């Protein structure tokens, strides 16, 4: 080695630097969730999205602001919505029972008080939800995750009773791996298969629907590309853009396909798999009237004429997978018009009477906001639950909604 260093000092230093980089990467891969490399059910090691950002800086920067990335995060102030200020930090079940959100030395807590006397305090150990609709919070105790009783409801900017909870303080609702399967990239189950309630290793959780949820565990990819930076074809990684139509749909439907009954343990389905090999999948044409707008967007899409008339339409036909496009009505409308161009599909007949302005808002006419039955929360003092308004994925003509949109356009 000394002779090589003497004769070819620059080459030797470059080789040493490369070897050191690979060594550091192998030590760091998977440590985003703590401990040694986190591996999926098939033994493939995760790299962690921080490493992905080294080569995919722009895409990673976009993804940090997406609802997918934020759908679960550590319990840090930057990720928690809702006020902790006195007067705005509590939910009253009645005059005697109150749950307050409090910041203490070791974290954030939900604290139950009975007649101003503290009865129970449970720490936030995980944030669930990006805050677009709301957020719930998990506590980790005795190797189990539990959902805390108070949720932040974005539409009202208030704390509420958690959806589906009784009108009393409940700290014992257990969270399952199926819940975490849709809100994390990976969570290590430590209990035996079939055992309930399941136990978890909180240090082996990869937060959010992150890069490796859709592209697969990337440790081997990172190791290969580091040693072979000249390689033009990416190795040991998946590109969902190249999936067959059904595999692309299955990837999204694994979490946006309703309350699927699993036939295999959670987290064994991965990108590129066939959903029906892991879940009981209803292949009949759904009745949109019986499908809630939250959680089963795939069923509503399948019932739409747009989808049934196309051989290529997938979720990614309309949704960019990496960034935060929520609320960008004009952008989604452009994607509608890319097909409804008079060649592949007919143009909107209202263009003849309303002109090009109608092209800027296809979605409010054809995919209106509707009340969710699944996300309805009880606000203190209200007699009835308040439902979240979510955009329907049953794409069709809604005459009354179209009339409202046209009336709004004429006012501008």
Q: Is 253 inside a domain boundary?
A: no
Name the CA dihedral angle for 12, 14, 15, 16, rounded to a multiple of 10 degrees: 90
Residue 27 has pLDDT above 90, yes or no: no
**pLDDT confidence of 348, banded at 50, 70, 90?**
confident
Residue 369 shares a structural domain with residue 315: yes
Question: How far apart are alpha carbons 305 and 203 in whole angstroms?
Answer: 45
pLDDT tens digits, one per residue of 138-183: 999 999 999 999 999 999 999 999 999 999 999 999 999 999 999 9
- Cβ(45)–Cβ(235) under 8 Å? no
Residue 289 shares a structural domain with residue 203: no
Tell me the CA distances in angstroms from 266 to 11, 178, 270, one per residue in order.
48, 6, 10
Domain count, the chain: 3
Residue 405 has pLDDT above 90, yes or no: no
Span of 195-204, 335-344, 348-357, 401-410 with lowest mean pLDDT = 348-357
Range of the domain at 99: 70-209
Residue 137 shares a structural domain with residue 224: no
Q: Is 61 inside a domain boundary?
A: yes
Residue 204 shares a structural domain with residue 320: no
pLDDT tens digits, one per residue of 233-266: 999 999 999 999 999 999 999 999 999 999 999 9
Question: How far apart are alpha carbons 392 and 372 in whole angstroms?
Answer: 10
Side-chain-side CA neighbours of residue 388 (13 Å): 25
Closest alpha carbon to 210 in 187, 191, 190, 228: 187
pLDDT tens digits, one per residue of 190-235: 999 889 999 999 999 999 999 999 999 999 999 999 999 999 899 9
Residue 292 shares a structural domain with residue 402: yes
| b/e burial code for range 321-351 (CB count within 10 A of at least 16 → b) | bbbbbeeeeeebbebbbebbeeeeeeebebe
């Amino acid at each position: 080695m000394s002779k090589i260093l003497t004769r070819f000092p620059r080459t030797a230093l470059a080789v040493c630097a490369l070897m050191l980089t690979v060594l550091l990467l192998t030590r760091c891969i998977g440590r985003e969730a703590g401990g040694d490399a986190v591996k999926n059910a098939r033994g493939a090691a995760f790299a962690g999205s921080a490493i992905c950002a080294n080569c995919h800086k722009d895409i990673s920067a976009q993804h940090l602001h997406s609802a997918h990335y934020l759908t679960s995060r550590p319990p840090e102030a930057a990720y928690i919505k809702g006020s902790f200020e006195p007067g705005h930090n509590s939910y009253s079940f009645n005059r005697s029972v109150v749950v307050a959100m409090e910041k203490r030395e070791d974290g954030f807590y939900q604290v139950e008080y009975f007649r101003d006397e503290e009865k129970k305090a449970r720490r936030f150990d995980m944030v669930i939800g990006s805050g677009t609709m709301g957020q719930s919070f998990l506590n980790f105790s005795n190797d189990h995750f539990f959902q805390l009783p108070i949720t932040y409801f974005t539409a009202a900017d208030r704390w509420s009773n958690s959806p589906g909870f009784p009108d009393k303080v409940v700290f014992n609702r257990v969270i399952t791996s199926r819940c975490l399967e849709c809100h994390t990239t990976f969570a290590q189950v430590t209990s035996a298969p079939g055992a309930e309630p399941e136990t978890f290793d909180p240090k082996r959780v990869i937060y959010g629907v992150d890069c490796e949820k859709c592209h697969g565990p990337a440790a081997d990819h990172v190791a290969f590309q580091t040693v072979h930076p000249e390689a033009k074809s990416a190795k040991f990684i998946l590109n969902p853009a190249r999936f067959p139509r059904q595999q692309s749909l299955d990837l999204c439907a694994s979490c946006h396909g309703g309350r699927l009954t699993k036939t295999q343990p959670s987290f064994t389905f991965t990108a590129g798999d066939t959903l029906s090999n892991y879940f009981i999948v209803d292949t009949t044409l759904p009745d949109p009237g019986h499908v809630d707008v939250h959680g089963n967007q795939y069923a509503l899409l399948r019932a739409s004429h747009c989808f049934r008339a196309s051989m290529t339409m997938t979720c990614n036909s309309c949704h960019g997978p990496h960034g935060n496009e929520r609320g960008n009505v004009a952008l989604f409308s452009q994607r509608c018009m890319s097909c409804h161009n008079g060649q592949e599909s007919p143009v909107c007949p209202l263009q003849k009477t309303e002109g090009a302005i109608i092209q800027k808002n296809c979605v409010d006419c054809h995919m209106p906001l509707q009340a969710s039955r699944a996300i309805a929360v009880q606000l203190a003092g209200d007699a009835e639950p308040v439902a979240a308004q979510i955009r329907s994925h049953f794409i069709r003509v809604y005459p009354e909604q179209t009339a409202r949109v046209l009336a709004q356009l004429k006012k501008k």
